[in-house]
Amino acid sequence: MALNLIMLGPPGAGKGTQAERFAKARGIPKISTGDMLREAVKTGTEVGRRAEAIMKGGGLVNDDVMIGIVREGLDRPDARAGFILDGFPRTVEQARALDRLMEGRDPLIVIDIAVSEAELVRRLSTRLVCADCGTNAEGADIALIATARCERCGGPLVQRADDNEATVLERLKVYRRDTQPLVDYYRARPTFRAINGAQLTERVAADLAEAVESAASGAVGGAAR
């Protein structure tokens, strides 16, 4: 059975970190809609040209374009053995579109990484990211921002402009409004699991692996899509 995985959770829950670790451990691609969007624009695919035109006009990339981006990712040969979707779906409408894209494939495994709002605000307001490659700097001390460097590429670590408490609270509000309904959409499926993201990274990774195995077992003979 292919491991087709999406991870839900609010900003700061650690989805990107855990997705990358899990993808490397299992030898499956992490399909980041943000990375794919940039790649599609750069390479000039049909979807990329549509996205570029929207962005140049100052608009937000709509569902049709994002679904096209995901379709391109799922059609790649390396995704046939499984994948982890990073950044999609973000709305119930996108989830319904993903269900249509998944017809004829093994079921989706859905993991919700739960973290309290207070912990998310603490994490995001002290988070550092690489200015060159965008990687989150795990465990970096914000007090050392002037000298800290990225372990992956050596680039300087910076604080994102939107990682201040007021903006973080607004982002969490938007998440609750637009993305939290996804949890309700997927919750009844036998391939849905929730894990505690307010733990050390290694503990979350272990819980994630266990949850994926449990969900995969639940998919056998189940009615999940």
Q: 4 forms bridges with which residues in the sheet?
A: 83, 108
90 labelled catalytic: yes
Catalytic pick among 90, 105, 122, 225:
90
Print burial letters for 71-98: b (CB count within 10 Å at least 16), e (below 16): ebbbeeeebeebbbbbbbbbbeebbebb
100 labelled catalytic: no
* Nearest Cα residue to 108 out of 129, 89, 136, 134: 89
Catalytic pick among 30, 127, 189, 193:
127
Catalytic pick among 71, 122, 149, 160:
160
189 labelled catalytic: no
Is 4 within 8 Å of 108 (Cβ atoms)? yes
38 labelled catalytic: no
Is 135 within 8 Å of 152 (Cβ atoms)? yes
Catalytic pick among 26, 122, 149, 171:
171
171 labelled catalytic: yes
Catalytic pick among 15, 30, 189, 193:
15
Q: Known catalytic residues? A: 15, 90, 127, 160, 171
